[in-house]
Structure 1
């Protein structure tokens, strides 16, 4: 017995979801970068480390993803799902420190929402493209 392929949703159903998940992804992506910048420039005690080195290490993965995220590339959003796990882990670890608890929670929540939005954007975008191709 072979299973029949599940039909793709209609374009009218997919189009607003593609736009919404892309907007949420970009908002969380930018917010995560702003939180990292603000924390490291204004609040973090880096114990003598150079601020620009810490920022470069923390923001490099986001900087590499930024052009594809802005362009709405579905593959970049899929890669973002992998990369954002690093920020989620960092946020969870920071949440255990009473001095960094708010920062950790904020970073974890932004990372989680970005993960979910980027994942859904990837799914909806590929379905949308398949539907436009006549499938």
Structure 2
């Protein structure tokens, strides 16, 4: 795996890989946050309350400062948190009538995981020189 990543760095360059992984993080973060908020609003039923939305979306929102300031360590922690959303998406995908929503959440969380880990690795290597 390490050899494959080193070959990838040689072919494309660290600057390009940092940019691509950052774009993947931003896109999948927005999609995942939208799906989580949508599910939070659907959970509450007829009553209008922000508590379920806040409970589902708060772990993602807490990483916004790290994403905005482009901190590799924050992206590494975001990758670990995205694993929870992968597991949750798989769980919802196997629930009756929730396959599409669960599959979309799993795909978005997997994109966030790959992008965040890629950004953490490539940006840290770029900063070291």
TM-score by length of 2: 0.84
Quote the Cα distance in structure 2 between the aligned partners of 1:16 and 1:31: 23
1:123 to 1:45, Cα distance in 2 relative to 1, 3 A: closer
Q: Does 1:71 find its partner at 2:69?
A: yes
Does structure 1 retain, via aligned residues, the 8 Å contact 2:43–2:52?
A: no
TM-score by length of 1: 0.81
Q: Does 1:116 find its partner at 2:114?
A: yes
**Larger radius of gyration between Structure 1 and Structure 2:** 1
Quote the Cα distance in structure 1 between the aligned partners of 2:37 and 2:25: 18
Give 1:63 deviation, angstroms.
Answer: 1.2
Q: Can you give the 5+ residue segments of structure 2 that lack an aligned partner in the other structure?
A: 1-5
1:33 matched residue in structure 2 = 33
Does structure 1 retain, via aligned residues, the 8 Å contact 2:75–2:117?
A: yes
Q: Can you give the 5+ residue segments of structure 1 that lack an aligned partner in the other structure?
A: 1-5
Quote the Cα distance in structure 1 between the aligned partners of 2:82 and 2:116: 10
Q: SS at 2:60's partner residue?
A: helix
RMSD: 2.0
- Report how many residues are paired: 121
